Structure 1
Amino acid sequence: MLTIYKTDHGVCHKIPKAETGCWIDLCEPSSKELDEISLDFDIEPDDLRAALDEEEASRIVLEDDYTMILVDVPIVERRNDEDVYTTIPLGIILVADSVITVCMTQTSILADFQNNRVKQFSSKKRMRFVYQILFRTASTYQRTLRVIDKKRVDIESRFDEDDTKVNDMIALHELESTLVYFETSLRGNEVVLNRLSLYKRIDQYPEDMELLDDVIIENKQAIEMATIYKDVISGTRELLSTIVDSRLNNMMKFLTSITLVMAIPTIVSGFYGMNVPLPKYSFGELTVLTIVVCIVSLIILKRKKML
């Protein structure tokens, strides 16, 4: 879908066609819309479609008529009634007097601009707009990382229960995988930000450079959070695996002890089934003797912490 926005007096609103200082948003665009923008602004079709490929890496492309910035942004998907966190590419293309964004799905980052939830947003100030997008991207990573860590804490709080499920181990593995993807995406974005700090192609105001410095700091903090949380989840997963193994060992020890005690009546009855001379006891006396031996065995096993 192709939507064109422009800010007037600090308010973002839709306009029917592109004009100077506008923002062109391509969300889940059709081939026709991509071809239209490609022809109107003389942009390579492959550069427009780059943001629609999940495997594309973050980078900057400098062409004569435009500049493309490709970064990874976090999103939440719903799978099997569960929230799943992942990253997708977001393309930001600077043309003559406008900004074009391309993404395969709607993101909360761009929705904030569309719904006037970003202070001092102006579609006419292109580089500031780009840095505001990148700042909110880094902030969204941090919020998502905190949610992931909270899920890890919730799983860890269930370790005291005897019915720790395999689903918890699977959930921890998925969270750890998500953090690996997040860390990789954040490091790719860091390369883009470092290149932007040396970017001299378009005039930038001092306040824009200050905003870029803030973006770089926020992105570094997000990288550190992802690294720390990944290490913590790795340790949590090992702890859970150890607890499960310990419970299994205790169960095997208990079953072995019960088997040993239950073998006593079998042995006694086996002796009296042989054609050999044995002391003569009544059935009642033999039963009581067997029960006493079993109880003594249980007491010994209990003291040995085998039960």
Structure 2
Amino acid sequence: MIKTYLYDNSSSRMRHDVNLNDIATEINNQDNMLWVDLFNFSEQELKYVAEVFDFHELAVEDCMHYSPRAKLDKYDDYHFLVMHAIRYNEERDEEIMLVQLGVFLGPNYVVTVHKNTLPSLGRLAKICLSNTSVSDKGRDFFLYTIIDGLIDEYFPVLDRIGDRIEDLEEEIYEKPSKETTDEFLALKRTILTMRRALIPQRRIFYNFSSSAFVISEENQPYFLDLRDHLERITDTIDGYKDLVDGALATYASIISARTNDTIRILTLISTIFMPLTFVTGFFGMNVPLPDQDSVWSTVSITLGLIGVSTWMIVLFRQKKWM
């Protein structure tokens, strides 16, 4: 599906659903600003838009296929940017999924390409239809608004991950189980997925201040703010990663300690029964007993075995092995 929004500077109003075949005259006016949004698009729709704006085939191919890394490419008269939004998987709520967003940034136009719907772009579309507070500030500020919406979607996910880590840490000390470990491992996969998506995006913003990407002076503070947000998110993710690694190490230590206790108890039991097994096994091989016809011989042997066992238990307790 293709949605178009054109800010007409002469009338200071926003028009939508503009025919792309008729936009050549409109975008020749550098004071106008055009936004084309492709979502749930077909290959024919993407190729149609690419022909209208003469986009490079490699950039178009990147829009068709998912790429796990963000990037910024410069072409003759436009830039191509790949970013990633984040959301929880609709089928498995515990896992996150990355949604790719391709952005073509021209002198006075922005083309966004995404296969999945993005709530932040939906909110931006409502703003564009209701007022010109975003579109009348140029393509730089418009791009900032798009990226800021994507980055803001990370914070609720981070809060949810942080709360879950706290709950699982309590479960580890109160009642550790395999399910707790599985959840921690799932959280670690989620954190690593977010980190792999964020690190390249953070690098992109260092290029915004270079000659590769020119931003108007009045809009530079906004992009510096985006970079600060990405730094903060990355630091938070790194902190969560350390917490998860520490919790898994703690869980492994607890399980190891419990295993050692179990082995120690079993070893003590085996040690206590070892002399008993030897005596009963020795005299069980048809070896004649002293006074075997007397009932006191059986009583004496039984009391002797009990005495040895009692002595060993007392000895183990004195050495604090039990």
Q: TM-score, normalised by structure 2?
A: 0.77
Distance 1:241 1:265 in 2: 36
* 1:133 equivalent in structure 2: 146
Q: Does the CA-based 8 Å contact 1:190-1:216 persist in structure 2? A: yes
Q: Is 1:175–2:214 an aligned residue pair?
A: no
Task: Please state how far the C-alpha of 1:283 moved relative to its aligned partner.
Answer: 4.6
Distance 1:183 1:57 in 2: 11
Distance 2:120 2:208 in 1: 20
* 1:301 equivalent in structure 2: 316
Distance 1:4 1:46 in 2: 23
Distance 1:229 1:12 in 2: 43
Structure (1 or 2) with the larger CA radius of gyration? 2
Distance 1:256 1:197, change over 3 A: same
Distance 1:6 1:260, change over 3 A: farther
Task: Please state how far the C-alpha of 1:98 moved relative to its aligned partner.
Answer: 3.0
Distance 2:13 2:255 in 1: 56
My pick for the range that moved more, 242-251 or 122-131, is 122-131
Task: Please state how far the C-alpha of 1:31 moved relative to its aligned partner.
Answer: 0.8
Distance 2:188 2:50 in 1: 39
CA shift digits 1:51-96 (9 cap, x unpaired): 44333532222223432122233232245x4421243432111245
Distance 2:70 2:197 in 1: 8
Q: Is 1:26–2:34 an aligned residue pair?
A: no
* 2:29 equivalent in structure 1: none
* 1:220 equivalent in structure 2: 231
Q: Does the CA-based 8 Å contact 1:113-1:121 persist in structure 2? A: no
Distance 1:174 1:52, change over 3 A: farther
Amino acid at match of 1:261: I
Distance 1:284 1:161, change over 3 A: farther
Helix, strand or coil for the counterpart of 1:57? Answer: coil
CA shift digits 1:86-133 (9 cap, x unpaired): 434321112454321112322343243245599985345322121122
RMSD of aligned Cα (Å) = 3.6
In the alignment, structure 2 segments of 5+ residues that lack a partner are: 27-32
Task: Please state how far the C-alpha of 1:37 moved relative to its aligned partner.
Answer: 1.0
Once the two structures are superposed, the pairs formed by residues 31-110 of structure 1 within 5 Å of their partners are: 31-78=43-90, 81-95=92-106, 97-110=108-121
Structure having greater relative contact order (Cα 8 Å, sep ≥ 6): 1
CA shift digits 1:219-255 (9 cap, x unpaired): 1212222222222322222222222222111111122
Q: Does the CA-based 8 Å contact 1:12-1:114 persist in structure 2? A: no
My pick for the range that moved more, 273-282 or 252-261, is 273-282
Distance 1:278 1:199, change over 3 A: farther
Distance 2:318 2:124 in 1: 69
Task: Please state how far the C-alpha of 1:209 moved relative to its aligned partner.
Answer: 2.0
Q: Does the CA-based 8 Å contact 1:71-1:188 persist in structure 2? A: no
Q: TM-score, normalised by structure 1?
A: 0.80
Distance 1:243 1:115 in 2: 53
Q: Is 1:243–2:254 an aligned residue pair?
A: yes
In the alignment, structure 1 segments of 5+ residues that lack a partner are: none
Distance 1:119 1:210 in 2: 23
* 1:3 equivalent in structure 2: 3
* 2:200 equivalent in structure 1: 188
Helix, strand or coil for the counterpart of 2:235? Answer: helix
Distance 1:202 1:271 in 2: 93
